[in-house]
């Protein structure tokens, strides 16, 4: 027999002594019971429906397509949300466990319980903000001076707001109107707003006037809901800027990694803005800064004298048999040697530089070689072996003279020995081109 004398024993307790089953019954906690179906229904509605359904859903439905969004929402609500909700409530009632413990019956769905707890925490924080708005609005309604009573608030459009503040400004006008009405008293309050409304409509037909209460709702409440990320940002005072978004982008593209001046930027972009305006716009851009270029070796008077002396000596040289060579570095952020330039910071991350070596003569070009930024004499000899030697071998009857500068890897003893071993005639020592 069962616990009441009428119900059969549970399967797991059948065959056990009565004393054992009595102990199990005594340890079983009492289940909570609903007082009725209405109590259960209202509890489920309270769990499923919150302030956000009334506050946010109409706005989100309107913003995302209106009726079309509502149809898709209703389909997924019936096919997915309601079945999952009923399943969760049913399993939770049967096991008497919370969201974290309930889904442990299937380890693969353990993350569902964790997700429910996280979402519940986020909803609580979110609705705390919404409730604070409602409480602020309600508390403001009990103040003796309403925040929407005057037109001197930051959210109002002064031209259209007239109800209270313009009452005092246009009092002389009302007195003037009252004089022609043979009335010795000045109208005030709401009648004053009506007169002002008529005056504005007569001056500008089609103008839409609003009271300060209407503007508080549209400019403060509704504007906050539509532009929450932009709410509270203070707009700069003064006249509008002469540079629109398109002009600003054009200036940034022109100045990016360039050495041109502000006036050259103005002439290139053909904009009607002052030099200070362009400079201020570039200075506000976080991605472009004014940086100094690396200094290059200066051409001293000694270098000039040596080059002039060299030119006088080698005026009758056979230049068709001279191979000129050099290395150079190409930068993606502007050439070296300039004093300063507009540096684009994001491009520096993907930018860089490359070092190349090449040579040429009257017979043609030597194959271009990409070399390391810091070469040693072994690397330089490898480049000469793969580029210079094949070029010389293409012209067996020509006796070339190889020219290079006085870099350390060029003037080293082992490099000179390598050139002699490969029958490459080097340029004589006192050349100004090697300085």
Domain-embedded: residue 294: no
The least confident of 87-101, 146-160, 210-224, 340-354 is 146-160
My answer on whether 164 and 258 are in the same domain is no
My answer on whether 130 and 150 are in the same domain is no
**Residue 221, pLDDT score:** 63
Of 137, 161, 195, which residue constitutes the final position of a domain? 137
Domain-embedded: residue 30: no
Cα distances from 315 to residues 5, 312, 401, in angstroms, run 129, 6, 16
The least confident of 27-41, 136-150, 188-202, 414-428 is 188-202
My answer on whether 103 and 73 are in the same domain is yes
My answer on whether 154 and 128 are in the same domain is no
Mean pLDDT computed over 388-417: 85
My answer on whether 84 and 194 are in the same domain is no
For residue range 176-212, list pLDDT tens digits in order. Answer: 444 444 443 333 334 444 444 555 455 445 545 566 6
- What does DSSP say about strands 322-331 and 353-361: parallel, antiparallel, or unpaired? antiparallel
DSSP state of 218: I
Enumerate helices (H) and strands (E) in the chain, giving the number of each: 22, 8
> Looking at the whole model, is its pTM more than 0.75?
no
Mean pLDDT computed over 263-268: 84
- What does DSSP say about strands 340-344 and 425-426: parallel, antiparallel, or unpaired? unpaired
The greatest distance separating any two alpha carbons of the chain, rounded to the nearest whole angstrom, comes to 131
CA 48 to chain CA centroid, nearest Å:
36
Domain-embedded: residue 272: yes
**Residue 29, pLDDT score:** 60
Report the distance separating Cα 242 and Cα 262, nearest Å: 16
**How many separate domains does the chain show?**
4
Report the distance separating Cα 324 and Cα 304, nearest Å: 20
My answer on whether 313 and 419 are in the same domain is yes
Q: Where does residue 92 rank: exposed (0-12), middle (13-18), buried (19+ CB within 10 A)?
A: middle
Of 90, 107, 137, which residue constitutes the final position of a domain? 137
My answer on whether 130 and 158 are in the same domain is no
Contact 361, 320 (CB under 8 A): yes
Domain-embedded: residue 108: yes
53 in a known ligand binding site: yes
Domain-embedded: residue 341: no
**Residue 281, pLDDT score:** 82
48 in a known ligand binding site: yes
My answer on whether 213 and 273 are in the same domain is no
Domain that holds residue 265: 245-284
Mean pLDDT computed over 231-244: 68
Band (pLDDT 50/70/90 cuts) for residue 393 is: confident
Mean pLDDT computed over 375-390: 88
Q: Measure CA of the first residue to CA of the last residue in the chain; give whole Å.
A: 114
Domain-embedded: residue 431: no
**Residue 51, pLDDT score:** 56
My answer on whether 310 and 416 are in the same domain is yes
Whether the pLDDT of residue 127 is over 80: the answer is: no
My answer on whether 127 and 186 are in the same domain is no
My answer on whether 219 and 172 are in the same domain is yes
Which of 41-45, 48-52, 324-328 has the highest average model confidence (pLDDT)?
A: 324-328
Mean of the per-residue pLDDT values of the chain:
70
The CATH code of the domain that includes 264 is 1.10.10
Domain-embedded: residue 59: yes
Of 91, 115, 137, which residue constitutes the final position of a domain? 137
Q: What is the 3-state secondary structure (H, E, C) of 392-429?
A: HHCCCCCCCEEECCCCHHHHCHHHHHHHHHCCCEECCC
Q: Is the dihedral of CA 80, 82, 85, 87 positive or negative?
A: negative
Mean pLDDT computed over 111-133: 80
My answer on whether 421 and 314 are in the same domain is yes
Q: Is 270 left (phi over 0), alpha (psi -120 to 50) or beta?
A: left
Domain-embedded: residue 238: no
């Amino acid at each position: 027999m069962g616990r009441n004398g009428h119900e059969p024993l549970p399967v797991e307790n059948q065959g056990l002594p009565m004393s054992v089953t009595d102990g199990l019954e005594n340890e079983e906690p009492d289940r909570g019971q609903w007082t009725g179906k209405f109590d259960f229904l209202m509890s489920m509605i309270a769990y499923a429906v919150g302030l956000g359904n009334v506050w946010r859903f109409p706005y989100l439905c309107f913003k995302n397509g209106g009726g079309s969004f509502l149809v898709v929402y209703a389909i997924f609500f019936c096919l997915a949300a309601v079945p999952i909700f009923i399943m969760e409530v049913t399993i939770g009632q049967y096991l008497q466990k919370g969201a974290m413990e309930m889904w442990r019956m299937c380890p693969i769905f353990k993350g569902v319980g964790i997700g429910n707890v996280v979402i519940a925490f986020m909803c609580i924080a979110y609705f705390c903000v919404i409730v604070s708005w409602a409480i602020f609005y309600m508390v403001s309604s009990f103040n003796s001076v309403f925040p929407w009573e005057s037109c001197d608030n930051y959210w109002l459009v002064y031209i259209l707001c007239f109800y209270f503040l313009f009452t005092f400004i246009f009092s002389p006008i009302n007195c003037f109107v009252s004089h022609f009405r043979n009335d010795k008293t000045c109208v005030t309050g709401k009648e004053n707003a009506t007169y002002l409304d008529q005056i504005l409509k007569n001056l500008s037909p089609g103008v839409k006037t609003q009271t300060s209460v209407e503007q508080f709702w549209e400019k403060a409440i509704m504007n906050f809901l539509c532009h929450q990320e932009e709410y509270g940002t203070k707009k700069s005072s003064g006249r509008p800027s002469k540079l629109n978004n398109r002009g600003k982008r054009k200036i940034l593209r022109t100045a990016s990694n360039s050495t041109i001046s502000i006036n050259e930027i103005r002439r290139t972009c053909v904009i009607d803005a002052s030099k200070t305006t362009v400079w201020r716009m570039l200075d506000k851009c976080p991605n472009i800064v004014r940086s100094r270029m690396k200094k290059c070796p200066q051409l001293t008077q000694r270098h000039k004298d040596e080059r002039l002396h060299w030119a006088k000596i080698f005026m009758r040289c056979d230049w068709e048999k001279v191979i000129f060579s050099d290395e150079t570095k190409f930068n993606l952020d502007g050439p070296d040697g300039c004093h300063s330039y507009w540096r684009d910071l994001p491009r520096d991350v993907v930018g860089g530089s490359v070092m190349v070596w090449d040579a040429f003569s009257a017979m043609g070009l030597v194959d271009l070689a990409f070399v390391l930024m810091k070469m040693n004499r072994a690397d330089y000899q490898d480049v000469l072996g793969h580029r210079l030697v094949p070029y010389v071998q293409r012209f067996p009857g020509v006796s070339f003279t190889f020219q290079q500068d006085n870099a350390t890897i060029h003037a080293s003893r082992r490099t000179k020995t390598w050139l002699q071993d490969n029958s490459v005639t080097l340029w004589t020592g006192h050349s100004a081109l090697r300085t």
